[in-house]
Amino acid sequence: MTMQLNDEEKAMLAGELGEAPRLALSHQLKVGEFFGARDFVPVTQAHVMADTESLGEAGVRWLESLAALKDGSRRVRIPTITDPRGTDFSKARRLKQAEWMTDLEARAIAAFVKLGVAMTDTCINYQTIQAATRGEHVAFGDTGVVIYSNSVSGARSNFEGGPSALSAGLTGRTPRYGFHLDEHRQATIRFRVDWTPSKLNDWGALGGVIGRRAGNYWSVPVIEGLDRPPSSDELKHFGAAMASFGSIALFHLVGITPEAARLADVGGEALEPVAVRREEVEALQQSYAVDSKIDVVVFSGPQLSLYELRALADLCDGRRFRIPLLAVTSPQVKPDCDRFGYTERIEAAGGTVYSGMCFYQSYAREIAEANGWKRLATNSAKMVNILGGYGYVPMLASMEQCVEAAQTGRLQ
């Protein structure tokens, strides 16, 4: 299917606005035509996932080639921000990252800055920068950002990988397919839960179970049975895990999320309810509990909010850790974490607060080998799903259990 282009898009494609927009629109056309998009839709924000463990030398060179363009507009046309980096430069040595890793990160950052991208380095921009609003079309990377923005904010985005999100920044638009369209936002599978979690790891595990059962990107779960509106942090872990386990980009909570005031609003009445029992959620967590000895405790994926850091600081008081405990947050939250004394309390116990990175995007395999880390405890269901592929034995537990493990070296 050939996409319809307006005059501005035709000019872009002809290179009349410069090489960067031409390259960007050409890439977007390939993707749009693959999915049968009719045309482009203007977007107001872009969020680019681009850690250098993913980009590699090839990706960084591509960014540098864009940044070196002299003709026309190489700068982004809309606010364009970044997902976490592959390091916290101030603590790269503590992580035992090699110099080539930080050099590659520095090159990527220099290129992004020349393109006009704001280095926010956060995967919780909906908590820290600016949440999208209902009906707002955006081009967000990071699956956790997309599912939260679509579901909780009612915004409209597909998963936009780094090249596509940057392209959207450079052109100010994205192909109109998937979750930009009304017809893809109706529920396709209906779940009824018999229990409302209270811990973040339980919310993540519930999201993981629903994600696995929902199956693929085009599935839209609608969920009934929660006995209260979840907090932003709870929905963050729930959505991030659902996206990670199932590639899900949109869910509805009846009576809670904006497009599902009633079940009928998202077509849920026509769907047979599928029960999700507490035992299944516990079984998912148990499936990761293969060892009691722990080498490292990590709180990351998604980055921690100020409230999560506050809770962690409370748990750290009076403790002395035997194994490393890493807590990862955004550059927007870190100054407040310092200012309110949370960093000092976490680090007094032997933990470390990192800023602007994400654990699994920071050369996770290499830092595991350099530090002798294999058995990892976390309260993030998303992280346990990812880290198996990096050679870790990840285990999912509550924040309280993880902090205890940092002190004893054992997960109870």
Neighbours of 165 (CB within 10 A): 30
Q: Which of 13, 15, 19, 27 binds another protein (CB under 8 A)?
A: 27
Q: Given the complex with another protein, which of 189 and 254 has the nearer CB atom? A: 189
Give residue 103's Cα distance to chain centre.
24
Q: Which two tokens stand for residue 86?
A: 């592959």
Span from 220-228, 238-246, 263-271, 346-354 in contact with another protein (CB under 8 A)? 238-246
Instruction: Tell me how far, at minimum, the Cβ of 58 lies from another protein, in Å.
Output: 3
Q: Can you tell me the distance from the alpha carbon of 19 to that of 411, in angstroms, rounded to the nearest whole number? A: 54
Which phi and psi (to 5°) does residue 395 adopt? -130, 140
Nearest to 240 by CA among 159, 302, 160: 302
124 scored as a contact of another protein (CB under 8 A): no
Q: Which of 82, 102, 143, 153 binds another protein (CB under 8 A)?
A: 143
* Interface map 272-311 toward another protein (x if CB under 8 A): ----------------------------------------
Among 159, 191, 321, 363, binds another protein (CB under 8 A): 159
The residue among 303 and 343 lying less far from another protein, judged by its C-beta, is: 303
Are the beta carbons of 108 and 83 closer than 8 angstroms? no
392 lies in the site for another protein, by CB under 8 A? no
What CA–CA distance (Å, rounded) separates 99 from 259? 48
Residue number with CB closer to another protein (215 or 409): 215
Nearer to another protein, 164 or 300 (CB): 164
Burial 113-146, CB ≥16 within 10 A → b, else e: ebbbbeebbbbbbbbbbeebeeebbbbbbbbbbb
Applying CB under 8 A, among 9, 88, 105, 142 the residue interacting with another protein is: 142
Contact between 164 and another protein (CB under 8 A)? yes
Stretch binding another protein (CB under 8 A), from 9-17, 33-41, 99-107, 199-207:
33-41
Binding footprint of another protein, residue count (CB under 8 A) = 49
At 236, list the tokens: 């963050």
Phi, psi of 257 (to 5 degrees): -85, 155
Hey, which residues does 351 pair with through a beta bridge? 325
The residue range among 57-65, 277-285, 310-318, 394-402 that interacts with another protein, by the rule CB under 8 A, is 57-65
Contacts of 371-374 with CB under 8 Å at 24 or more apart are 371/95, 371/96, 371/296, 371/324, 372/295, 373/295, 373/296, 373/324, 374/295
Q: Which C-beta is closer to another protein: that of 284 or that of 325?
A: 284
Q: Which amino acid is at 274?
A: V
Candidates 55, 223, 260, 276; binder of another protein (CB under 8 A) is: 55
Residue 172's identity, in one-letter code, is G
Q: Among 9, 105, 160, 295, which residue interacts with another protein (rule: CB under 8 A)? A: 160
Q: Determine which residue in the list 12, 20, 24, 31 makes contact with another protein, applying CB under 8 A.
A: 31
Interface residue list for another protein (CB under 8 A): 27, 30-31, 33-36, 49-51, 53-59, 62, 83, 141-143, 158-164, 178, 211, 215-218, 243-249, 360-361, 385-386, 388-389, 391
